[in-house]
Amino acid sequence: MTLRPLPFAIAALCFQTPAMADDFVLQRVLVEGARANQIGLSDSASSGSVGARELDKLTVYRPGELLEATPGLIASQHSGEGKANQFYLRGFNLDHGTDLATWVDGMPVNQRSHAHGQGWTDLNFLIPELVTRLDYRKGPYSAAEGDFSSAGKASVAYANRLVAPLASVTLGQDNFARSVIAGSPEAAGGNLLYALELMKNDGPWTRPDGYRKINAVLRYSRGYENNGWHVAAMHYRGHWNATDQVPLRAVASGRLGRFDALDLSDGGEAQRSSLSGAWRRTTQETATSLSAYVIRNRLDLYSNFTYFLNDPVNGDQFSQPDRRVTTGLDASHTWHLLSKGALTSDMTVGLQAQHDNIFNGLYDTRARQRLATTREDHIVETSAALYAENATKWSEALRTVVGVRANAYRFRVDGDRPENAGRASDSLLTPSLSVAYGPWKSTELYFNYGHGFHSNDARGTVASVDPKTLDPVERTPGLVRSRGMELGLRTVAIPKMETTLSLYHLEFDSELTYIGDAGNTEAGDPSRRVGIELSNSYRINKWVTANVDAAYAHARSRGGNPAGDRIPGAVEGVAQLGLSVDRAGPWSGALRLRYFGPRPLIEDDSVRSQASVTLNGRIGYRIGKDLRLELEGFNLGNRRDSAIDYYYASRLAGETEATDDIHFHPIEPRSFRITLVKNW
C-alpha cells in the first residue's frame, strides 16, 4: 500500500536514525483505533495498515490466519496443517490464493502455474513474532499492483530489529508444541536479526497430522526505513499427513467420524528457501527503491478427493510434485515535481520483473506409490511490467492518483506430450484512477476505478488435448482482465473511532474454477461482483478497543450457464467482532468472534453450505518486566461447524455408483495453548 502524499522533505528529515524510523512506523499504526488512521494518506476506503501491536492481539490457529487482520478476509483449511490455506474475500473463493496477491518481506508468495492450483499461497514459513506491519489493499486501483491483486493484496513487513530478544515455548492440546528464539544484536554498524522456529502439531484427527516444521530467518540491515538496505535468507521445511474433506453421507450414516480420513496416505512435504535484498534512498526531492529475490520452492502433495470414483481397485489418489526457482526484481523512482502552496505533485515510475523455472506433474498413485503418469511438464514463465503513477494534491481537500501499467508475459511449456507443448505470450494495459475528497477535517470521500488481471496457468495457454481423456480442449488466454469501481468513505468524526464504508463493483472476463477431482483450477465463465463493506474501530478507553467488520457480496456468473448463474464457493457474508484489553496493569487479553456465512455450492443454488461461527481468545499476564504468560483458546463455543464445504461426485469403497454429495472439513474442536515468553 502506498501512503500518499508524504512530502519527501518530511520523510528525509524524520528518518535520521534507525530508532526514529521504526518509531515513526509504529506511531502511524498505533493510533487511537485498532488500525492506522489513514485520513489524508490513503487513496481508498478499502486500504489500510495494521501494526505489530494489533496483530499480536489476534488469536491465530495457523500462520495464514494473520491475514484475517484485513477486514472481510477469511482464511480456512481443508487439509493437513502444512498445506496452503483457502482464502475468501469480496465474493471470491480464492482457493489457495488466486486473486489475492500476497507478499512477505518484499517477496511474492503466490506461485504461478502451480501443480495444485494457480496462485498457490503457502504462508507456513511466516513467523508472526517478526511481523511489524500488514498493509492491505482491495480492488484493482493501483498501477503498482499486478498479477493476482484484483480482489486484494496483503503485504507483510518484517522488522529490521526487535525491541528485545525473545525466547518462547508453547504447549497445547493435540500434541502441539512450538518454540521460537529471536534477536537482533548490533553488528558491523547494522543489525543482524535471527529467528528459529520449531513446531509440531497432530491436530484432533483420528490419524494425527504429524505436522513437523522448522523455520529460520537471518536478516542483516543497515540504515533505516526510507534510507537503508537489508539482505535476508530464509528457510522453511514441513511435512504432514492430511485429513482432507469427507463426504457428509459417510458421517451421517456413522461409517466415518467427523475427524476420520478415507485415505490414510494423503499428505505432503514442502520446502522454501530464499535470498532477498532491498535498498531505499529518500531525499527532499526524490525516493528510490530497489529489491531483488531468489526463491526455491519444493512441494510433494498427495490427495484423494473422490476416493474410488475413477479407479475402484487402486483408488483415486494423485500426486502433484512441484519444483521451482523464482527470481525477480522490483524498482521504482519517485520525483517530487511540484510544490506551490497546497498544490503538490509526485511522479512514480516502476519496473517489476519475475522469472519462474518450474518442473511439475500429475500422477496416479496408491499409498504414495506412482501407478501412472497423467502429465509431466517443464514450464518457463517470464513477466515484466512498467508502470507510471502521478499523485497530486490539488488543495487541502482534493487528491488524485492516476496510473497506467503495461504487462507482458511469455510462456514456454515442454512436456511429455508434444501436443501440449509450445510457446505463447500475452500483454495487457491496465489504467487506474483514485480520487480522495475531504473538505472536512475528519472525513474523506473516495472514488476508485481501475483495471487489473490474473494470469492463467501456462499449460492452458498451449494445450491442445486433455491429458487424461485426450479430448480436444481450447487454449486459454494468458492474462484475464478485471474491471473495478468503488465508492468509499472514511471518518474519524466521532472521537476515538474510525469508520470506513465502501461500495464496490468488480467484473472478470474469466472466472477461475476449482476442479475437485483433478485438484487444480481452470478458466471459466465471466463474472460480476457487487458488494458493501463496513469496518469500525473504537477505542473505548486507554486499555479497551472494539472492532466490528462486516462485508456482503453478490457474486454472479455472466456466461449464460444453463445450470445457473451462481459461482460455487463464492462467499456472501462475513463478519468479525473483536474486543481487546491492553495495559490493564499486568493483564492483557482479546476476544474475536468470526462469522463465515453460507455459500452456494452448485450453480443453481440448490445446495448451500452452512454458516460457520468461531470464538477465539487469549489472556496474558506479565509476571515480571521481561517475562509473560499467555493462554490462548480456539473455538471456545466448541461448535461443530465446517471449515469448508464442496459439492461434487465421489464413490466410497463398496459403493456401486457415484454419489453427488457435500464434502466438508470440520473446524477443530475447542482447544487451548499456553505460552511462556522471556525477553532480555
pLDDT at position 27 over 60: no
Q: What is the pLDDT of residues 37-46, one digit of tens each?
A: 678 788 999 9
pLDDT at 36: 56
Query: CA–CA separation, 228 vs 225, rounded Å?
Result: 7
pLDDT at 17: 36
Task: Tell me how far the alpha carbon of residue 100 is from its chain's centroid.
Answer: 6
Residue 551 burial (C-beta neighbours within 10 Å; 0-12, 13-18, 19+):
buried
Q: Residue 22 corresponds to which amino acid? A: D
Residue 562 burial (C-beta neighbours within 10 Å; 0-12, 13-18, 19+):
exposed
pLDDT at 532: 98
Percent share of the chain, pLDDT over 90: 85
Closest CA to 245 of 659, 650, 657, 595: 650
Q: What is the pLDDT of residues 264-301, one digit of tens each?
A: 999 999 999 999 999 999 998 999 999 999 999 999 99
pLDDT at 15: 37
Tell me whether the omega of the peptide bond preceding residue 418 falls within 30 degrees of 0, making it cis.
no
Query: CA–CA separation, 559 vs 670, rounded Å?
Result: 43
Query: CA–CA separation, 391 vs 141, rounded Å?
Result: 13
Closest CA to 486 of 426, 409, 434, 555: 434
Mind giving me the DSSP string for 114-178? -SS-TTB---TT--GGGEEEEEEE-SS--TT--TT-SSEEEEEEE-SS-SS-EEEEEEETTTEEE
pLDDT at position 517 over 80: no
pTM of the model: 0.92
Of 23 and 354, more confident: 354
pLDDT at 515: 58
User: What are residue 121's phi and psi, to 5 degrees?
Assistant: -125, 100
Secondary structure (H, E, C), 387-404: EEEEEEECCCCEEEEEEE
pLDDT at position 490 over 70: yes
Q: What is the pLDDT of residues 164-191, one digit of tens each?
A: 999 999 999 999 999 999 999 999 999 9
pLDDT at position 129 over 80: yes
pLDDT at position 205 over 50: yes
pLDDT at 550: 97
Q: What is the pLDDT of residues 232-265, one digit of tens each?
A: 999 999 999 999 999 999 999 999 999 999 999 9
Q: 2 in a domain, yes or no?
A: no
Q: 1 in a domain, yes or no?
A: no
pLDDT class for 10, splitting at 50, 70, 90? Answer: very low
Query: CA–CA separation, 143 vs 451, rounded Å?
Result: 9
Task: Give the strand order in the sheet containing 100-104.
Answer: 47-51, 131-137, 152-158, 100-104, 107-108
Q: 493 in a domain, yes or no?
A: yes
CB within 8 Å of 254: residues ≥ 6 apart: none
Query: CA–CA separation, 93 vs 87, rounded Å?
Result: 6
Q: Measure CA of the first residue to CA of the last residue in the chain; give whole Å.
A: 34
- Range of 128's domain? 8-679
Query: CA–CA separation, 493 vs 465, rounded Å?
Result: 60
- The CATH number covering residue 507 comes to 2.40.170.20
pLDDT at 11: 40
Q: 643 in a domain, yes or no?
A: yes
Query: CA–CA separation, 103 vs 357, rounded Å?
Result: 19
pLDDT at 513: 65
pLDDT at 158: 96
pLDDT class for 446, splitting at 50, 70, 90? Answer: very high
pLDDT at position 412 over 80: yes
Characterize the bridge pairing of strands 512-515 and 520-523.
antiparallel
Outline where 418-571 has alpha helix (H): 458-462
CB within 8 Å of 139: residues ≥ 6 apart: 44, 46, 90, 150, 151, 152, 448, 450, 452, 484, 486, 504, 506
pLDDT at 660: 97
How high does pLDDT run on average in the chain?
91
pLDDT at position 29 over 60: no
Q: How far is CA 156 from CA 107, 207, 629, in A?
A: 9, 34, 26
Domain count along the chain: 1
pLDDT at 632: 97
CB within 8 Å of 550: residues ≥ 6 apart: 72, 533, 534, 573, 574, 575, 576
pLDDT at 524: 81
Q: 3 in a domain, yes or no?
A: no
Contact indicator for 15, 155 with CB cutoff of 8 Å:
no
Of 24 and 313, more confident: 313
Reported as half-sphere exposure (CB side, CA atoms, 13 A), residue 606 has a value of 5
pLDDT at 35: 54
> Taking residues 385-411, what's their average pLDDT?
97
pLDDT class for 33, splitting at 50, 70, 90? Answer: very low
pLDDT at position 16 over 50: no
Of 519 and 321, more confident: 321
pLDDT at 521: 58
pLDDT at position 32 over 50: no
pLDDT at 5: 38
Q: 548 in a domain, yes or no?
A: yes
User: What are residue 172's phi and psi, to 5 degrees?
Assistant: -155, 180
pLDDT class for 419, splitting at 50, 70, 90? Answer: very high
**Cell numbers of 476, please?**
486459454
